[in-house]
């Protein structure tokens, strides 16, 4: 992957005119200049510098400064004490938040996640040295120069994820960094350098120290990003998923372990954990669409996870009830379709659409298309031909059925509407009030006669 950025000291050969083309970037530089006017050092730092060099859209701006939190608070009209203990103050300028953090170093990570102590320092380089990856350890000054003591630009040029200093130390300090390495590699299409990969495999058990919510956030962002297949490859191949604090469903772990041992590999990865043995195990292709839950559906269907285990995975990952129901339903439809013979597909598809709903059917079609476009197109054609996919689409209401049949409302109404819906879906009767009421009366009289 090639990126457009200046190969010298900074943007535009020391001129920040290009930087000013992005309003958020320019507003961040205004905060930097206000701090400098008070006599402090200040720089844009971290992800915003990386993304600016890569030509990516900026979402937020972080600033590092020699000013202490109380000094930052005095320098601006509106601030929020979002992380005073760790030196962070949120500065609000024209309604836009900027996280401003005092230069600091961190010491001790006894819980494998957070520093035991934070000490303020007066020098930018020491602050950058505590960061995770070299492309996140760059700073940009108001003079238009990039401060890059650890080779972040070289890592971007080479397309690699490289830790600041020793990778094993970085992951030993904060186990979440292993998932961040995977996410950045997948998002940017980068390689994990050999020492980074080896350190992940070495420290993977430390993932059990990380809150499930943090694991979920990283995996979900990976699934929503530019390279979900590559990200899942690294997660499965590394064995990381076996050490999530709350155990994942057995079927997910089994699929991950089969892939770890027998996975066919990934074109970006030259350092998998051992040679492939036996028959290769592949991850399913994931949809290009930006709908993360459709991608989750494709992954879980592709690795053979049941609808019950899909729901359990989403529960463990705290992904929310609505998302859980959506994915469980689409995976349930997949279970029905994958378990039927070819000559049963039409009937099972129609019943599946009626049972799980048109929305779940659309999700399954989008998830299935990359792996089996022929089947998806066949089912899509069948779906277009269905006159009604829900009882609410019928040309008769439950109260109208009760009135026409002279019966009090009860469970029988929903049962009769379902029978009518099936008849319409299979094109046995037209979706018109006259035919629906006539069919309802005929079926009811027949049932009464049998009684």
Q: Is the pLDDT of residue 11 over 50?
A: no
Pairwise CA distance, residues 50 & 138, whole Å: 7
Query: What average pLDDT does range 281-295 have in this prediction?
Result: 90
| pLDDT for 188 | 97
Rounded to two decimals, what is the model's pTM? 0.88
Q: Which residue has the higher pLDDT, 350 or 446?
A: 350
What per-residue confidence (pLDDT) applies to 17? 44
Instruction: Give the C-alpha separation, 209 to 215, whole Å.
Output: 10
Residue 446's φ and ψ, nearest 5 degrees, are -65, -40
CA-CA distance, 170 to 153, in Å (whole number)? 20
pLDDT tens, position by position, 48-71 = 999 999 999 999 999 999 999 999
Cβ(192)–Cβ(269) under 8 Å? yes
Residue 219 pLDDT? 98
Q: With respect to CATH, is domain 393-450 assigned 1.10.246?
A: yes
Q: Is the dihedral of CA 374, 267, 250, 216 positive or negative?
A: negative
Residue 159 region by backbone torsions, left for phi larger than 0, else alpha for psi between -120 and 50, else beta: left
- Tell me the torsion sign for CA atoms 302, 305, 311, 316: negative
Average pLDDT over residues 135-159: 98
- State in words which class domain 162-283 has: mainly alpha
Contact 40, 71 (CB under 8 A): yes
In the predicted model, what is the mean pLDDT of residues 279-300? 88
Q: Tokens in use for 49?
A: 């510098």
Mean pLDDT value across residues 22-42: 96
Q: What confidence score (pLDDT) does residue 111 get?
A: 55
Residue 14 pLDDT > 50, yes or no?
no
* Residue 290 pLDDT exceeds 90: no
Task: Give me the pLDDT at residue 446, please.
Answer: 85
Whether the pLDDT of residue 32 is over 50: the answer is yes
The CA distance from 205 to 226, in Å, is 27
| Cβ within 8 Å of residue 184, ≥6 positions away | 133, 135, 161, 190
Average pLDDT over residues 288-300: 95
User: 1-158: which CATH architecture?
Assistant: 2-Layer Sandwich (3.30)
Q: What is the pLDDT of residue 108?
A: 56
- At 90, give phi and psi (nearest 5°): -90, 120
Average pLDDT, integer, range 9-31: 66
Instruction: Decide which of 12 and 345 is more confident.
Output: 345
Query: pLDDT for 365-405, tens place per residue?
Result: 999 999 999 999 999 999 999 999 999 999 999 999 999 99
pLDDT above 90: residue 7:
no
Place 257 in a pLDDT band, splitting at 50, 70 and 90: very high
Distance CA 285, CA 371 (A): 6
Rounded distance between C-alpha atoms, residue 436 and residue 394, angstroms: 8
C-alpha torsion sign, points 99, 103, 109, 115 = negative
pLDDT tens digits for range 170-229: 999 999 999 999 999 999 999 999 999 999 999 999 999 999 999 999 999 999 999 999
pLDDT at 116: 63
Return the higher-pLDDT residue of 303 and 109.
Answer: 303
Provide Rg for the chain, Cα atoms.
28
Average pLDDT of the chain to the nearest whole number: 90
Q: Give me the pLDDT at residue 299, please.
A: 97
In DSSP terms, 80 is beta-bridged to: 90
Could you tell me how far CA 177 lies from the centroid of its own chain? 16
pLDDT for residue 262: 85
pLDDT score recorded for residue 437:
96
Q: Is the pLDDT assigned to residue 313 strictly greater than 80?
A: yes
CA distance 216 to 243: 13
Looking at the chain, the whole-number percentage of residues with pLDDT higher than 70 is: 88
Instruction: Give the model's pLDDT for residue 280.
Output: 55
Choice between 347 and 271, residue whose per-residue pLDDT is larger: 347
Q: How far apart are CA 103 and CA 88, in angstroms?
A: 10
- Weakest-pLDDT range from 177-181, 248-252, 261-265, 411-415: 261-265
Q: Give the model confidence (pLDDT) of 88-128 as tens digits.
A: 999 999 999 999 999 998 765 555 456 667 789 989 999 99
pLDDT at 247: 96
CA 439 to chain CA centroid, nearest Å: 48
**Pair 272, 265: CB distance under 8 Å:** yes
- Beta bridge partners of residue 101, listed in sequence order: 64, 88
Cα dist. 53→29, 307, 310, 344 in Å?
15, 43, 39, 54
């Amino acid at each position: 992957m090639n990126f457009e950025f200046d190969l010298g000291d900074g943007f535009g050969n020391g001129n920040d005119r290009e930087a000013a083309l992005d309003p958020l970037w320019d507003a961040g530089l205004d905060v930097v200049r206000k701090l400098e006017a008070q006599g402090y050092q200040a720089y844009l730092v971290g992800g915003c510098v990386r993304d600016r060099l890569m030509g990516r859209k900026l979402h937020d701006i972080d600033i590092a400064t020699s000013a202490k939190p109380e000094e930052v608070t005095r320098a601006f009209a509106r601030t929020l004490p979002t992380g005073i203990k760790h030196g962070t103050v949120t500065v609000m300028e024209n309604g836009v938040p900027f996280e401003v953090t005092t230069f600091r170093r961190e010491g001790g990570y006894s819980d494998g996640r957070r520093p035991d102590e934070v000490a303020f320092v007066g020098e930018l380089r020491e602050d950058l040295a505590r960061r995770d990856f070299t492309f996140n350890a760059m700073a940009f000054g108001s003079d238009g120069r990039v401060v890059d003591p650890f080779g972040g630009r070289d890592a971007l040029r080479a397309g690699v994820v490289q830790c600041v200093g020793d990778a094993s130390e970085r992951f030993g300090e904060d186990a979440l960094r292993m998932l961040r390495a995977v996410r950045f590699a997948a998002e940017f299409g980068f390689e994990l350098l050999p020492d980074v990969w080896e350190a992940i495999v070495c420290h993977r058990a430390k993932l059990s120290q990380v809150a499930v919510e943090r694991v979920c956030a990283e995996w979900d962002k990976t699934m929503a990003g530019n390279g979900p297949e590559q990200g899942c490859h690294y997660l499965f191949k590394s064995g990381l998923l076996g050490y999530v604090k709350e155990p994942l469903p057995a079927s997910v772990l089994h699929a991950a372990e089969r892939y770890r041992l027998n996975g066919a590999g990934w074109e970006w990865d030259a350092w998998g954990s051992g040679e492939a043995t036996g028959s290769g195990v592949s991850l399913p292709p994931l949809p290009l669409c930006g709908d993360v839950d459709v991608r989750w559906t494709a992954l879980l269907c592709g690795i053979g996870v049941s609808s019950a285990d899909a729901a359990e995975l989403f529960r463990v990952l705290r992904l929310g009830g609505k998302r859980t129901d959506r994915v469980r339903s689409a995976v349930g439809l997949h279970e029905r379709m994958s378990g039927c013979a070819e000559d049963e597909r039409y009937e099972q598809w129609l019943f599946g659409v009626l049972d799980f709903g048109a929305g779940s059917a659309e999700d399954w079609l989008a998830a299935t298309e990359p792996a089996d476009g022929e089947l998806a197109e066949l089912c899509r054609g069948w779906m277009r031909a269905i006159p009604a996919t829900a009882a609410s689409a019928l040309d008769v209401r439950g109260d109208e059925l009760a009135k026409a049949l002279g019966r009090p409302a009860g469970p029988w109404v929903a049962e009769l509407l379902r029978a009518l819906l099936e008849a319409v879906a299979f094109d046995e009767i037209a979706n018109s009030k006259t035919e629906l009421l006539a069919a309802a009366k005929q079926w009811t009289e027949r049932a009464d006669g049998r009684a």
